Structure 1
Amino acid sequence: MKSKYSQYYNRSLIEVHYLYAKAMTRSQLQDRHSGTGLNPLSILFVIICSIIILENLLVLIAVFRNKKFHSAMFFFIGNLAFSDLLAGSAYIANICLSGPRTFELVPVQWFIREGTAFIALAASVFSLLAIAIERYIAITKVKVYGSNKTCRMFLLIGACWVTSIFLGGLPIIGWNCINDLEECSAVLPLNSRRYILFVVTIFSIILLSIVILYVRIYLIVRSSHQEATNSPAYALLKTVTIVLGVFIVCWLPAFTILLLDTSCPMKSCPILGKANIFFGVATLNSMLNPLIYTLRSKDMRKEFLRVLCCWGLLQSGRPSERCMVPLKSSSSMEHCTNKHEHQSTPIMQDCTTCV
Structure 2
Amino acid sequence: GTLALKLPPYSPEATAAFATAITVMMIFTIFGNILVIIAVLTSRSLRGPQNLFLVSLAAADILVATLVIPFSLANELMGYWYFRAAWCEIYLALDVLFCTSSIVHLCAISLDRYLSVSQAVKYSARRTPGRIKAAILVVWLISAVISFPPLLSMNKSQDGQRCQLNDERWYILYSTIGSFFAPCLIMILVYVRIYQIAKRHTRSPSYKRTVPRPPSLSVPPPSPHNNNRNSSSSGSDMEKVSELVDQGPSRAARLSGGGVLPPPSAQQSRDMIVTSRGTVLVAQRVRAESTPNTARRKALVNREKRLTFVLAVVIGVFVVCWFPFFFSYSLQAICPQACTLPDPLFKFFFWIGYCNSSLNPLIYTIFNKDFRRAFKKILYRNRKDTFF
After TM superposition, is the score higher than 0.5?
A: yes
Whether 1:111 aligns to 2:89 is yes
Stretch moving more, 259-268 or 276-285: 259-268
Q: Given residue 224 of structure 1, which amino acid in structure 2 is its aligned partner?
A: H
Tell me: higher relative CO, structure 1 or 2? Use CA pairs within 8 A at least 6 residues apart: 1
Q: Given residue 124 of structure 1, which amino acid in structure 2 is its aligned partner?
A: S
Q: CA deviation at 1:65?
A: 2.4
SS at match of 2:196: helix
For residues 235 and 59 of structure 1, the distance between their equivalents in structure 2, rounded to whole angstroms, comes to 17
Q: Does the 8 Å CA contact 2:68/2:95 hold for their aligned counterparts?
A: yes
Q: Indicate the residue corresponding to 2:367 in structure 1.
A: 296
What are the within-5 Å matches in structure 2 for residues 184-263 of structure 1? 188-190=164-166, 192-202=168-178, 203-226=180-203, 242-263=313-334
Residue in structure 2 matching 1:84, options 61, 66, 84: 61
What are the within-5 Å matches in structure 2 for residues 24-39 of structure 1? 28-32=4-8, 38-39=15-16
Whether 1:150 aligns to 2:129 is yes
Q: Indicate the residue corresponding to 1:130 in structure 2.
A: 108
Q: Indicate the residue corresponding to 1:164 in structure 2.
A: 143
For residues 307 and 124 of structure 2, the distance between their equivalents in structure 1, rounded to whole angstroms, comes to 21
Q: Given residue 194 of structure 2, which amino acid in structure 1 is its aligned partner?
A: I
Structure 1 length normalisation: TM-score? 0.67
Q: CA deviation at 1:294?
A: 6.1
Q: Given residue 221 of structure 1, which amino acid in structure 2 is its aligned partner?
A: A
Q: CA deviation at 1:107?
A: 3.2
Q: CA RMSD in A?
A: 3.8
Residue in structure 2 matching 1:60, options 11, 16, 37: 37
Change in Cα spacing, 1:198 to 1:217, as seen in structure 2 (3 Å) is: same
For residues 236 and 303 of structure 1, the distance between their equivalents in structure 2, rounded to whole angstroms, comes to 15
Structure 2 length normalisation: TM-score? 0.62
For residues 95 and 119 of structure 1, the distance between their equivalents in structure 2, rounded to whole angstroms, comes to 15
For residues 145 and 237 of structure 1, the distance between their equivalents in structure 2, rounded to whole angstroms, comes to 15
Tell me how many residue pairs correspond in the alignment: 284
Q: CA deviation at 1:272?
A: 3.7
For residues 250 and 280 of structure 1, the distance between their equivalents in structure 2, rounded to whole angstroms, comes to 9
Whether 1:44 aligns to 2:21 is yes
SS at match of 2:367: coil
Change in Cα spacing, 1:307 to 1:225, as seen in structure 2 (3 Å) is: same
For residues 73 and 111 of structure 1, the distance between their equivalents in structure 2, rounded to whole angstroms, comes to 34
For residues 36 and 176 of structure 2, the distance between their equivalents in structure 1, rounded to whole angstroms, comes to 29
Q: CA deviation at 1:259?
A: 0.8
Q: Can you give the 5+ residue segments of structure 1 that lack an aligned partner in the other structure?
A: 1-24, 181-185, 321-355
Change in Cα spacing, 1:273 to 1:34, as seen in structure 2 (3 Å) is: closer
Q: Does the 8 Å CA contact 1:123/1:160 hold for their aligned counterparts?
A: yes
For residues 60 and 237 of structure 1, the distance between their equivalents in structure 2, rounded to whole angstroms, comes to 19
Change in Cα spacing, 1:260 to 1:209, as seen in structure 2 (3 Å) is: same
Stretch moving more, 45-54 or 291-300: 291-300
Q: Given residue 112 of structure 1, which amino acid in structure 2 is its aligned partner?
A: I
Q: Given residue 51 of structure 2, which amino acid in structure 1 is its aligned partner?
A: F
Q: Does the 8 Å CA contact 1:94/1:117 hold for their aligned counterparts?
A: no
Residue in structure 2 matching 1:95, options 25, 49, 72: 72
Q: Given residue 117 of structure 1, which amino acid in structure 2 is its aligned partner?
A: D
Q: Does the 8 Å CA contact 1:52/1:287 hold for their aligned counterparts?
A: yes
SS at match of 1:145: helix
For residues 201 and 21 of structure 2, the distance between their equivalents in structure 1, rounded to whole angstroms, comes to 46
- For residues 276-306 of structure 1, give each alpha carbon's deviation from its aligned partner in whole angstroms, at most 9, with x where no partner exists: 3212111222222233356533232111111
Q: Can you give the 5+ residue segments of structure 2 that lack an aligned partner in the other structure?
A: 209-301
- For residues 108-131 of structure 1, give each alpha carbon's deviation from its aligned partner in whole angstroms, at most 9, with x where no partner exists: 321212222222222221111111
Whether 1:120 aligns to 2:98 is yes
For residues 106 and 266 of structure 1, the distance between their equivalents in structure 2, rounded to whole angstroms, comes to 32
